[in-house]
Amino acid sequence: NQDQYLVVSFADGRKQHVRGPSSLFLDPVIHKTIHIKEAISLNAFEAIVVYQEIDPKHRDNGIEVSAVDSTTIATAIKLQEDL
């Protein structure tokens, strides 16, 4: 449903988030795992602040900060699973 998304882990180590509603067949040659996760819903005046470690070569402190608000909620499924 639209309140869920799929976290697809590939055999080559990549990870993909697929916005719901969606279905996917687990092909053991291509996929390692497929998990269903609950999406985060935001009201009009809410936001999520995300701190993410990045390669220090690209930034001085190796930390990137971004905010996701209700107008850009489609990008929320790209956030780390452990929010």
Residue 20 and residue 1 in contact, taking contact as beta carbons nearer than 8 Å:
yes
Q: Which two tokens stand for residue 64?
A: 């990137």
The secondary structure element, H or E, covering residue 50 is strand 47-53
Q: For residue 76, what pLDDT is reported?
A: 46
- Amino acid in position 19: R
Q: For residue 71, what pLDDT is reported?
A: 57
**pLDDT tens-digit readout, 15-37:** 998 888 888 999 999 999 999 99
Predicted TM-score (pTM) of this structure? 0.59
Q: Which residues of the chain, if any, have pLDDT below 70?
A: 54-63, 65, 67-83
What are the CA-CA distances from residue 78 to residues 22, 28, 57, 61, 81 (Å)? 16, 23, 23, 22, 9
Q: For residue 3, what pLDDT is reported?
A: 86
